[in-house]
Amino acid sequence: MDLDAFTAVHSDDWKRLDELAARRRLSGPEADELLRLYQRASTHLSIVRSVAPEGTLSAALSMRLSRARTRFTGSRSNFMEDLANFFVFSLPAAFYRVRWLTVAIGAAFVLVAWLTGFWAVNTPGVLAAVGSDEELRRYVEEDFVNYYSENPAASFSGMVWTNNAWIAVQAVAFGITGLWVPWILYQNAVSVGLSAGMMAAHGRLDVFFTYILPHGFMELTAIFIASAAGLRIFWAFVAPGRRSRMTSVAQEGRSLMTVALGLVVVLFISGLVEGFVTPSPLPAWLRLTIGFGVFAAYWAYTLILGGRAYRAGHRGDLSARDAGAYLRTA
Positive or negative torsion for Cα 14, 19, 21, 22:
positive
Task: Calculate the alpha carbon distances from 186 to 24, 51, 105, 176, 300 in Å.
Answer: 60, 63, 11, 17, 28
* Side-chain half-sphere exposure of 327, counting CA atoms within 13 A: 1
> Which of 99, 109, 113, 108 is closest to 228 using CA atoms?
99
Contact in structure between 131 and 194 (CB atoms under 8 Å): no
Rg (CA), the chain: 29
Phi-psi region of 27 (alpha: psi -120 to 50; beta: other; left: phi over 0): beta
CA 67: distance to chain centroid? 33
Comparing CA positions, the residue from 264, 276, 266 lying closest to residue 148 is: 276
Per-residue pLDDT of the chain (330 residues; tens, 9 = 90+): 677 787 888 888 888 888 888 877 778 888 888 888 888 888 888 887 877 777 777 778 888 888 777 766 655 556 677 778 888 888 999 999 999 999 999 999 999 999 999 999 999 888 888 888 899 899 998 888 888 887 788 888 888 888 888 888 888 888 888 899 999 999 999 999 999 999 999 999 999 999 999 999 999 999 999 999 889 889 888 888 887 888 788 777 777 778 888 888 899 999 999 999 999 999 999 999 999 999 999 999 999 999 999 998 887 765 544 444 443 444
Instruction: Report the largest interatomic distance among the alpha carbons of the chain, rounded to a whole angstrom.
Output: 95
Contact 113, 192 (CB under 8 A): yes
User: Model pTM?
Assistant: 0.72
